[in-house]
Amino acid sequence: ELMRALIELYPHTELTCTIKKVPFYESAGMQVIDSHNTQIVTN
């Protein structure tokens, strides 16, 4: 719920996370746009 509200407020939000957390952020509406070693960039 909080992630969805933040994305609505800031539609160009980006974050990095570990590969393990990708499904969580995808379920919140974020999309993978890049990767760096063990970090994934989403927006």
Neighbours of 30 (CB within 10 A): 21
pLDDT, position 1: 78
Bridge partners (DSSP) listed for residue 9: none
The pLDDT value recorded for residue 15 is 87
The pLDDT tens digits of the residues spanning 11-41 come to 788 889 999 999 998 998 889 999 988 888 8
In which band, very low, low, confident or very high, does the pLDDT at 4 lie, cut at 50, 70 and 90? confident
Q: Whose CA is closest to 22, among 32, 13, 8?
A: 32
SS3 of 1-43: the string is CHHHHHHHHCCCCCEEEEHHHHHHHHHCCCCEEEEECCEEEEC
The answer to whether 41 touches 34, Cβ cutoff 8 Å, is yes
pLDDT for 12 equals 83
The pTM score is 0.71
